Amino acid sequence: DAGVIQSPRHEVTEMGQEVTLRCKPISGHNSLFWYRQTMMRGLELLIYFNNNVPIDDSGMPEDRFSAKMPNASFSTLKIQPSEPRDSAVYFCASSLTGMGTDTQYFGPGTRLTVL
């Protein structure tokens, strides 16, 4: 199994540009999570999908952030326009059912730098 795949691994962009992060979950997993990790705020849950439907997006910082899951094997997190404070490592994770006792499998992350 290839695990959770994220692309790109690194992204450097300028303030105001649109950024799109991509994630392919583990095949057969029904839940997908997007997280942001910074030194100051730790690992924060941004949004959670179950069966491709957004269940909880209360962690999405503001309207500049949007996430989609058009099918069971692909999700995107978009930031438009990007700002320097969006610089962080963004992780995608997937799990079988999304329940709290389930194992979440994390991707390697995308390190985003907004200049």
| Residue ranges that bind other proteins, judged by CB under 8 A | 4, 35, 42-45, 48, 56, 91, 93, 99-101, 103-104, 106-109
Nearest to other proteins of 27, 97 (CB atom) = 97
For other proteins, give the closer residue by CB, 56 or 76.
Answer: 56
Give the contacts of 17 (CB within 8 A, at least 6 positions apart): 81, 82, 114
Q: Which is nearer to other proteins, 50 or 76 (CB)?
A: 50
Q: How far apart are CA 113 and CA 2, in angstroms?
A: 26
Cα four-point dihedral sign 22, 26, 30, 33: negative
Cα separation, 28 vs 95, whole angstroms: 9
